Structure 1
Amino acid sequence: MTAPQAAASETASILIVDDMEENLVALEAVLGSLGHVVRARSGEEALKAMLRQEFAVVLIDVLMPGMNGFETAANIKGLDQTKDVPIILLTGAAVDPNYAYRGYTVGAADFLIKPFDPWLLRTKVNVFLDLFRKNRQLVDQSDQLKRLLTADGGHPGVAPAAPAPADAATEPSYGTGHQNPTDAAEGSAPPEEPDRLSEVVGQLAQAELLLRDANGPGGADLADRIVELEQAVGRLMAQRET
């Protein structure tokens, strides 16, 4: 992974949504050391922020004027661009017993009652940050493998062949016992290699689809699939060198 790609994978932003300034200050103090914290004072402002940039997790206060926390969460889950972002709902101590149920029905991943334990909040948020980084790393690896396999028509590590001469008479002769280097290069690839490369590219496409849907324990299975793909690429490249 190159330096820019590694930096991108490590970037994780947290969105905190509350209409009370003192609550935003408290949340930022607790979470500021974990990642880049962005504030929003309303559900509408939160939705605009999420359409502008990518977030690893969003924390939303339930009791807000206008669009409340439940409505904000439902709108987030209703957009293709933001539907996979984990949501933690926050509410005060005098909470309706049905609030937690309502939160989970609109797609929230967790529900915390204020005043919350700072250590507990940091721990929960850190789980989503780690998952975000791992998924980004898997996406980067998948992209790198796809570029490797699809470069130059699906032949990894091989430079494009020079165009054929317009006049066959100008093609150099290599004499008896000498093989045309272009023919030698083409002959070195196993006949079945294009089909095998196509199969690996198909596996990468399937992994990409799974990565887009990953938002939980499936990350470990995806990592195993990426390892298998890397091994397959290594075997193909080793065959080309023999």
Structure 2
Amino acid sequence: MSINPADQCSILIVDDMEENLVAFEAVLGPLHQRLVRAQSGEQALKCMLRQEFAVVLLDVRMPDMDGFETAANIKRLDQTKDVPIILVTGTEAGADYAYRGYAIGAADFITKPIDPWVLRTKISTFLDLHRKNRQLALRAVTADTDRLTEITERLTQIELLLRNRTEADTDGLADRIGELERTVGGLLPGSMECQ
């Protein structure tokens, strides 16, 4: 299976144990995405600030900064707050683990031993959501660019009217300025204009 590089996403795998990282890479390899490793919460935060991730697979039990604290720090940052986090717990995890995880913004939990099919399915769902969000953002930018082009053209027309104006053109100029104000108002945040 060949994936278009433009469709590839990055997945951050965080675990302090090398053998777990290798196992996650083996399970997620068939998804053909970029897999990035971190062996501590601190390394994970540095990775999150350096590049965009579609999803984070985060072990709960780690020395120094555990998975809960790492997840809380990820969710505090504007740049990373919307990245879904799947917390990985051992079988000894209590009911409070789920409560704590969801309270800090984790999107899901998975328990060791990992079922490879379940993990790939969960990760694939988040990858699809990430791709769709990117497409929506691109469409919004394109729409804004089109509207800004339209405004630029209208400004050019107004400039020409101003340069060549006579008394009779004053009403037409006022109408065009009014149209321009409404168009610009539609681009401003909080505008309720329908498109």
TM-score normalised to structure 2 length: 0.78
Counterpart code for 1:143? V
Kindly tell me: are residues 206 and 56 of structure 1, through their superposed partners in 2, closer, same or farther at Cα, counting changes over 3 Å?
farther
1:18 to 7, 15, 27: 15
3-state SS in 2 of match to 1:33: helix
Q: Tell me which residue corresponds to 2:98.
A: 100
Q: Tell me which residue corresponds to 1:27.
A: 24
- Equivalent residues in 2 for 1:48-127, closer than 5 Å: 48-127=46-125
Gaps of 5+ in 1: 1-5, 172-182, 208-228, 233-242
Q: Tell me which residue corresponds to 1:131.
A: 129
> Aligned residue pairs: how many?
180
Counterpart code for 1:130? D
Task: State the 1:48 CA deviation.
Answer: 0.2
Task: State the 1:97 CA deviation.
Answer: 3.0
Identity %: 56
- Distance in structure 2 (CA, Å) of the matches to 1:124 and 1:109: 10
Task: State the 1:105 CA deviation.
Answer: 1.5
- Distance in structure 2 (CA, Å) of the matches to 1:147 and 1:136: 16
- Equivalent residues in 2 for 1:182-221, closer than 5 Å: 193-194=179-180, 197-198=183-184, 200-202=186-188, 205=189
- Distance in structure 2 (CA, Å) of the matches to 1:192 and 1:41: 59
Counterpart code for 2:59? D
Q: Give 4+ residue runs of structure 1 displaced > 6 Å after superposition.
A: 189-192
> Do residues 142 (structure 1) and 140 (structure 2) align?
yes
- Equivalent residues in 2 for 1:225-240, closer than 5 Å: 232=195
Gaps of 5+ in 2: none
Task: State the 1:103 CA deviation.
Answer: 1.2
Task: State the 1:96 CA deviation.
Answer: 2.6
- Distance in structure 2 (CA, Å) of the matches to 1:78 and 1:200: 31
Counterpart code for 1:125? I
Q: Deviations over 1:142-173 (max 9, x none)?
A: 11111111126x156x7956x86xxx9xx9xx
Task: State the 1:70 CA deviation.
Answer: 0.8
Q: Tell me which residue corresponds to 1:41.
A: 39
3-state SS in 2 of match to 1:129: helix
Q: Which protein shows a greater Rg?
A: 1
Counterpart code for 2:28? L
- Distance in structure 2 (CA, Å) of the matches to 1:103 and 1:61: 11
3-state SS in 2 of match to 1:32: helix
RMSD: 3.1
Kindly tell me: are residues 148 and 52 of structure 1, through their superposed partners in 2, closer, same or farther at Cα, counting changes over 3 Å?
same
Q: Deviations over 1:217-237 (max 9, x none)?
A: xxxxxxxxxxxx7xx5xxxxx
Kindly tell me: are residues 11 and 190 of structure 1, through their superposed partners in 2, closer, same or farther at Cα, counting changes over 3 Å?
farther
Q: Which is helix-richer, 1 or 2?
A: 2
TM-score normalised to structure 1 length: 0.64
Q: Deviations over 1:3-56 (max 9, x none)?
A: xxx975x34210000011111111111112322110000000000000000111
